Amino acid sequence: MNEYLIQSNGWKTYIILSVLSILITYAINSIFLTTDLYYQLFGERLAFERIDDMLNIHKRLQGVSYIILPFLFF
């Protein structure tokens, strides 16, 4: 796969795949993984403070996932 990426079409494909994966990840995080979903899924089993901690960790790591995601295609 690395030989393919060296060609210009390979880099274009890589950039398109990276941008699409970042957009899909952003859409999933903003549309589906809402705070209400976390409270509905974990509300009966965890304290609200623990759910808040989970959401804070998720928000902190969300930016890191957007940076790491393009490197996963190599």
Percent of the chain at pLDDT exceeding 90: 16
Tens of pLDDT along 31-53? 888 888 889 988 889 899 999 99
Report the distance separating Cα 45 and Cα 43, nearest Å.
Answer: 6
Residue 8 has pLDDT above 80, yes or no: no
pLDDT level of residue 7 (50, 70, 90 thresholds): low
Mean pLDDT of the chain: 83
DSSP states along 38-49: HHHHHTTTS-HH
Q: Is the pTM of this model over 0.85?
A: no
Tens of pLDDT along 24-36? 988 988 888 888 8
Task: Let me know the angle formed at the C-alpha of 35 by 30 and 36, rounded to the nearest 5 degrees.
Answer: 110
Q: Where are the domains of the chain?
A: 17-73
